[in-house]
Structure 1
Amino acid sequence: MRCIAFHFFAACIVGGCLGTSSADAASLRRTSVLHHPQVRLSDLFNGITADQDCDLGPAPAPGQSLTISAPQLQAIAQQYGIDWPEMSELAQATLTRASHTVSHDDIMPLIVDGLKAKGVSDSATIDVTNFSGPTVAAELANSPRLSNIVYDAAHGRFSAFFSITSDNDTQSFRADGTVSSRVEAVTARTDLSAGQIIEQSDVEIAEIDSRSLPARAILDPADIIGQSTRRAIRAHTPLTSEMTSRIDLIEKGSPVILDVSSSGLHLTASGVALDSGAQGERIHVLNPTSRMIVVGQIIDRTRVAVTPGTTPTPADFKDLRSAGVRPQKNI
């Protein structure tokens, strides 16, 4: 501080305004907050007229203070013809440069716009972690400028790089943070035991923070219904494809019941599966009586619901033999 005050005093002696005409008695301003880059005579004394006022030297750095001691104040008053009747050896003046610290609110609009330009949705949650912005002169601080933003979409992380100009000096700084959104994923409704066949009642849809969503998470219940758990799973755990394995409820060649619904009518017929499949999957089924092949969705281990709108196709010799049905003999 003494070194700063010395340089300031030297600047007052060699620079600034030369001499001024005496004016009415002035009084010392013991504390002043500066909103300009130069210390002015009126920052030290009250009662300075406009034609007397002039720059004395550089102001302290933003947020910093400078104390002017009694000898320095006396020398300044004498040099510039200030009538200071209260001159005292104990007098001192403290000058503080007004400052502004770049805050979270200053940079968030820029981060949001930058991330949206990279494809981040409006519904995403953007968080800045452990941000500490630079301190700049309050009167000269421009708005921060976003120089670049690096976004890792796979891990939901970003780094934003900024610059801000103050006192003809440009400072660079960065802010790091995360991007998350709420994703609808399939979770276990209750505890599931190892080897359990998953049914619709065993799962539910829950909104999960994308940052905690596991890789290969199941988003559609249809992708997991009818599969078997590889291990025990606790309730409310997000399910992944690695937690389950596909189990064929119906094996190729197995007898099944065809459920046919049309125009309010419900009919059943016997059939033979031409494919193996898990619950919810579509397979080809032969109707041995009509010798026609239909496509249906597996309901359980014995039933297949014929897909509405599909057209039955005649079975060829290979299909009939695969189903154990004797082909008709030509007469």
Structure 2
Amino acid sequence: MSFLKKAVLGLILSASIAESLSCASYAATLRSSGKIYSDTVHLSDIFDGISRSDDRALGPSPSPGKSIQISGYQLIAIADQYSVDWDDQSSSITLTLTRDGKVLGKDYFANLVKEEISSSETRGSLLVNIVGLKPVVVASDDLSPFVVSDVKWDKKTGQFSATAFRSNQTGDGEDDAINLKGEIKKISPVMVYDRSLPAGYVLTDSDFHIDSTFDGQLPLGLSGPSSPDDVVGMSLSKPVASGSPVIMGDLRRSILVHRGDPVIISYNSPGIRITTTGKALADGGKGQLVHAINMGTKMILLGRVNGNGEISVDSTSTAVGLDSSEAKKLRASQVIMDSGEGN
């Protein structure tokens, strides 16, 4: 016997053994369709206008997400059984009732697996990928429909298996226990490229972001940067693809200032910023220390390249004159002569 016939027969049989009701009839209209929110189908699920005191349980509901259809002849029989004065009664009408439910997919069961192994896995986060799982529909008000146990995880390959059991068993072995399988990966924050970039491209802070759920692998023996400041201003030694990790071995320092280039020499301290013009005495990339000569005072300072044509000097830098041995090593006088400002 089909599920539909069993369900309808259950409704009629339940109605026949229901408690005795008042012989008084009451007016009601047939619902066009409806949802069932409990384990039991009630008279009010079929007819609109049934008061709470007149409502009766008719039989078990279908499983969450499933539907039953009640024919016009069966509706007439139910109405007669419970003295329902059904307006526009017709044997050609069919009513569909659907049990309300929520769908549980891979994400739900993946979270259960992570919760099950979290007590023994303390380092880093985990990404659980479940394969071959069909969605499961459960009652909307079921807050804890499944529990997971028997997790077997091979940490070398990442493969795992587990079993999800219904918290409230239905008696159907296939429905009460679901076999889970897939892969578990450790994930960690990694800097990745926002888009594909060519070799020689100079990186800015808008070219990458931190992917907190990166589940790939860094090349053996290579590492990513610890901070965005480590890579801004550096250039790519080879093309990179969107979403690929930023690897320090793929980067080289871009020369932002060249020997003899005019530069802005800046000094910053709390509440104070002083700038002057000068000349670079060496090539330098972002973050590198280079010497520069203040063209006004002809004093040489050591500062850090922090942008195109800008060198920042801190309070620990000591200025030296053109007659110093360091100035001679840097051939500072030659830079002054080349600029046309020599004596």
What TM-score does the superposition give when structure 2 sets the normalisation length?
A: 0.49
Structure 1's 37 and 79: CA in aligned 2 closer, same or farther, altered over 3 A?
Answer: same
Deviations 1:81-102 (A, max 9, x none): 1111311122221111112222
Instruction: Tell me, in whole angstroms, the C-alpha distance in 1 between the residues paired with 2:32 and 2:189.
Output: 60
Instruction: Tell me, in whole angstroms, the C-alpha distance in 2 between the residues paired with 1:95 and 1:69.
Output: 11
SS where residue 86 of structure 2 aligns?
coil
Shift of 1:154: 1.3
Q: Is the 8 A contact 1:5 1:66 kept in 2?
A: yes
SS where residue 50 of structure 1 aligns?
coil
What letter is aligned with 1:127? N
Q: Is the 8 A contact 2:41 2:61 kept in 1?
A: yes
Partner of 2:109: 107
Instruction: Tell me, in whole angstroms, the C-alpha distance in 2 between the residues paired with 1:125 and 1:105.
Output: 10
Shift of 1:52: 1.0
Partner of 1:228: none
Partner of 2:185: 179
Instruction: Tell me, in whole angstroms, the C-alpha distance in 1 between the residues paired with 2:50 and 2:117.
Output: 52
Q: Is the 8 A contact 1:116 1:122 kept in 2?
A: no
Structure 1's 141 and 63: CA in aligned 2 closer, same or farther, altered over 3 A?
Answer: farther
Partner of 1:163: 165
Shift of 1:120: 5.6
What letter is aligned with 1:71? Y
Partner of 2:30: 28
Asked if residue 55 in structure 1 is aligned to residue 57 in structure 2, the reply is yes
* Aligned residue among 145, 148, 153 for 2:147: 145
Instruction: Tell me, in whole angstroms, the C-alpha distance in 2 between the residues paired with 1:67 and 1:160.
Output: 37
Structure 1's 63 and 90: CA in aligned 2 closer, same or farther, altered over 3 A?
Answer: same
Partner of 1:135: 137
Instruction: Tell me, in whole angstroms, the C-alpha distance in 1 between the residues paired with 2:64 and 2:74.
Output: 22
Instruction: Tell me, in whole angstroms, the C-alpha distance in 1 between the residues paired with 2:29 and 2:57.
Output: 18
Instruction: Tell me, in whole angstroms, the C-alpha distance in 1 between the residues paired with 2:40 and 2:86.
Output: 22
Structure 1's 50 and 174: CA in aligned 2 closer, same or farther, altered over 3 A?
Answer: same
* Aligned residue among 91, 94, 99 for 1:92: 94
SS where residue 167 of structure 2 aligns?
strand
Q: How does 1:1-331 map to 2 (within 5 A)?
A: 2-119=4-121, 121-140=123-142, 142-166=144-168, 169=171, 171-175=176-180, 176-181=182-187
Q: Is the 8 A contact 1:66 1:95 kept in 2?
A: yes
Give the gaps of 5 or more residues in structure 1. Answer: 185-208, 221-235, 237-331
Instruction: Tell me, in whole angstroms, the C-alpha distance in 1 between the residues paired with 2:145 and 2:8.
Output: 34
Instruction: Tell me, in whole angstroms, the C-alpha distance in 2 between the residues paired with 1:82 and 1:183.
Output: 65
Partner of 1:319: none
What letter is aligned with 2:114? V
SS where residue 76 of structure 2 aligns?
helix
Structure 1's 124 and 58: CA in aligned 2 closer, same or farther, altered over 3 A?
Answer: closer
Q: Is the 8 A contact 1:128 1:177 kept in 2?
A: yes
SS where residue 71 of structure 1 aligns?
helix
Q: Is the 8 A contact 2:152 2:160 kept in 1?
A: yes
What letter is aligned with 2:119? A
Give the gaps of 5 or more residues in structure 2. Answer: 191-213, 224-239, 241-343
Q: Is the 8 A contact 1:106 1:143 kept in 2?
A: no
What letter is aligned with 1:173? I
What letter is aligned with 1:49? S
Structure 1's 179 and 79: CA in aligned 2 closer, same or farther, altered over 3 A?
Answer: same
What letter is aligned with 1:105? D
Q: Is the 8 A contact 2:124 2:187 kept in 1?
A: no
Shift of 1:182: 6.3
SS where residue 27 of structure 1 aligns?
strand
Deviations 1:52-101 (A, max 9, x none): 11111111222211111111111111111111131112222111111222
Q: Is the 8 A contact 2:66 2:99 kept in 1?
A: yes
Structure 1's 17 and 213: CA in aligned 2 closer, same or farther, altered over 3 A?
Answer: farther
Q: Is the 8 A contact 2:125 2:186 kept in 1?
A: no
Deviations 1:120-159 (A, max 9, x none): 6224443333433432233446342122211101111222
Shift of 1:37: 1.0
Higher Rg of the two aligned structures: 1
